Structure 1
Amino acid sequence: MTAEFAVALPAVILVLGLLLAGSAAGLTQLRLEEAARGGARALARGEDAAAVGGIVRHLAGDSARVAVASDAGWLSVTVSGTVHGAVAPLVPWTLTARAWARSETTDAPALFVPGPEPLPWHRSA
């Protein structure tokens, strides 16, 4: 029984380590996605890139890297970071999340949709 335990214990520890690394990667990815969405919303409202970087670092952590881009009225925020935790030095994963938002501050032409014409017998007061 001792020999079987000695053979099985490293395999169990390896599986446990992989499960912990996978869960740490999943949590890091969720934080990066939330930070990218928050940064894209702030950028769409007209915040500058420095303020967006502060928002992203607040949500994703101080080690997060931020890239901001603009393309024909669409703004994108790309956030990348590494997995943290006990197994992070063994598996140096870099995860990335990107969010897009339409700019709310551009001078888009306002669309006027006329209402229904009043009926001839309708009198306004």
Structure 2
Amino acid sequence: MTKVLLARRRRVPAVPEDGAVTAEFAVALPAVVLLLAFLLAGGAAGITQLRLEEAVRAGARASARGETTVSVQGTVRRLAGEGATSSLTDDGGWLTVTASSPVGGALGPLIPWQLTASASARAETGTS
């Protein structure tokens, strides 16, 4: 019969690492927060740009149907947000709506970007 010898556990002397994780966390945390802020700012800019593009497309369709400039600007402001400014130009038979807005969201005031979008539509004629 074979005897089984139990291995003795050796005690490893404790290495003084008290507080090392806290120090590493304190060094890494600002970088993580800054990265998160950049991601949120980029997302807010992307959403604002999409809202502007949808607003100018709707404004161009409304102006092509013959709606007034005030009505078109109201449509753009309703879709793009209250901070958006818009303009309508008539170039021959083409109507162009241009809108601009600062970046929205919680970090919007910290970002100095002014986003712009433009859309054109052919004016509809009243003949049947």
Range of TM-score over shorter length: 0.7 to 0.9
Give the corresponding residue for 2:30: 10
> Is the aligned partner of 1:37 residue 2:57?
yes
Amino acid at match of 1:54: G
Q: Is contact 1:39-1:53 (8 Å) kept? A: yes
After the TM superposition, which segments of 4 or more aligned residues of structure 1 sit over 3 Å from their partners?
Answer: none
Q: Is contact 2:59-2:76 (8 Å) kept? A: yes
TM-score by length of 2: 0.80
- Tell me how many residue pairs correspond in the alignment: 108
Give the corresponding residue for 2:3: none
Amino acid at match of 1:61: G
Give the corresponding residue for 2:66: 46
Give the corresponding residue for 2:122: 102
Alignment of 1:1-125 (within 5 A): 1-105=21-125
Q: Is contact 2:103-2:109 (8 Å) kept? A: no
Q: Which has the larger radius of gyration?
A: 2
Between the aligned partners of 1:31 and 1:85, the Cα distance in structure 2 is 12
Superposed CA offset, 1:34-54 (max 9, x none): 000000000000011000011
Between the aligned partners of 1:54 and 1:24, the Cα distance in structure 2 is 23
TM-score by length of 1: 0.81
Deviation at 1:58, TM superposition (A): 1.1
Unaligned runs of 5+ in 2: 1-20
Unaligned runs of 5+ in 1: 111-125
Between the aligned partners of 2:34 and 2:26, the Cα distance in structure 1 is 13
Between the aligned partners of 1:3 and 1:47, the Cα distance in structure 2 is 63
Between the aligned partners of 1:90 and 1:70, the Cα distance in structure 2 is 35
Task: Report the secondary structure of 1:89's partner residue.
Answer: helix
Q: Is contact 1:73-1:106 (8 Å) kept? A: no
RMSD value over aligned CA atoms?
1.4
